[in-house]
Amino acid sequence: MTILSIVGARPNFIKVAPLHRAFQQRSGVTSRIVHTGQHYDTRMSEVFFRQLNLPQPDYYLDVVGGSPTRQTADIMTKFEDVLLAEKPDWVVVVGDVTSTLACALVAVRQGVRVAHVEAGLRSGDRRMPEEINRILTDSLSDKLFVTEQAGLDNLLREGVPADRIHFVGNVMIDALLQCRAQARSLNTVDTLGLTPRQYVLMTMHRPSNVDRPEGLETIIRLVADTARHQMVLLPLHPRTTANLNRFGLMDNLAAIPNVRLLEPQGYLEFLNLMEHATAVVTDSGGVQEETTYLNVPCLTFRDSTERPATVTLGTNTLLADLNPDAVQAALTDVFTGNAKQGNVPPLWDGYAANRIAALLQNS
Ligand code: UDP
């Protein structure tokens, strides 16, 4: 049996690493990786292959930049040739990026079965391109692997037949567990001249937050509010850097006292920084899950989350609308040691990829 796994952007590399490993461990399974080239540079792509022990991709599509529409079209055209050459039994797509939807659509057109890992997540906010990608990918998929109860409930409510849905746990947590010891052995915190629990780690990159100057200005206020309590460490996503420069806001951010702007971090370095942070402030999907697992307080500056278990069970608090009173209350809780404690959601145990591999091989 041949399984083609699709990667395009940073979170995909992390999710596919444990999957590729689990597929390879099964006799009779050939696992191949297709990299669309959505994220391509050293810091957003290559470092993850190295740190996560991923082999060089079998196919690299070298997709064009530009709008999501152009990218979608280019990925589809190029991936069609790969499918015709490979004729796989399964195409595995993960998450909610442009590559996820584009490759799922081509596979379905070619009559190849699609498995979606991290299916069923819904923020309920259709202004997010990621939400559209999730809904459409799920509607195209033959097997839907969910990470939390809400994923299962959403899919059943949308009418997906129950026998296509499998609650398997979270491959992002598989990756974390596979890399945690190595991440802990780094001295990233020291190297940056920091003291554990004396800094807040922050990330921002959602188009809904960083593609408009008003969104960026609101976030810059949040950075300033946080930095009044403790040093803020801010590895900047390339999209955020580009937009801060485009809207002339980079200097405003850089001028805030007690803030350190960094390049995007490698996975191991970022795990190390999360584990030692007082709190993490983010709009990332994966980071909400990782902080819940690590029991580190997480403040998510979004109006909704497609990962509600991180709020109901985990350490995540939503800062909807960045309401100033709510922000102040959440920051006070964090810095007085009163942030909520969390539990690890069911099946986030490091074996999700093994469950997925077994289910695919037996179907
Ligand atoms: N991450 C990283 N370096 C960074 C920021 C994030 O390795 O500088 C990792 C993080 O640990 C998580 C993943 O990237 O595993 C999340 O990716 P991102 O926030 O880009 O995507 P999302 O999860 O929001 O789709």
If one residue of 137, 170, 203, 273 were mutated to test the ligand 1 pocket, choosing by the most ligand atoms within 8 A of its CB, it would be: 203
CATH number for the domain spanning 356: value is 3.40.50.2000
If one residue of 284, 292, 294, 301 were mutated to test the ligand 1 pocket, choosing by the most ligand atoms within 8 A of its CB, it would be: 284
Q: Same domain for 112 and 252?
A: no
Range of the domain at 283: 179-335
pLDDT in tens, 333-353: 999 999 988 999 999 999 999
Give me the number of domains the chain comprises.
2
Report if residue 341 sits inside a domain: no
Could you tell me the pLDDT band of residue 323, with boundaries at 50, 70 and 90? Answer: confident
Joined tokens for residue 203? 């990330």
Q: Same domain for 204 and 234?
A: yes
Ligand 1 centre distance from Cα of residue 203 (Å): 8
Q: Same domain for 13 and 162?
A: yes
Q: How far apart are CA 180 and CA 185, in angstroms?
A: 9
Report if residue 153 sits inside a domain: yes
Q: How far apart are CA 293 and CA 144, in angstroms?
A: 23
Could you tell me the pLDDT band of residue 236, with boundaries at 50, 70 and 90? Answer: very high
Report if residue 163 sits inside a domain: yes
Whose Cα sits closest to atom 3 in ligand 1? Answer: 265
Report if residue 343 sits inside a domain: no
Report if residue 113 sits inside a domain: yes
Q: Same domain for 207 and 157?
A: no
* Ligand 1 atom with minimal separation from the 263 CA: 8
pLDDT in tens, 40-88: 889 999 999 999 999 999 999 999 888 999 999 999 999 999 999 999 9
Torsion on CA atoms 83, 86, 92, 94, rounded to nearest 10: -60
Q: Same domain for 143 and 239?
A: no
Q: Same domain for 231 and 147?
A: no
Ligand 1 pocket member 48 (CB < 6 A): no
Q: Same domain for 78 and 138?
A: yes
Report if residue 340 sits inside a domain: no
Does this model's pTM top 0.90? My answer is yes
Joined tokens for residue 322? 């960045």
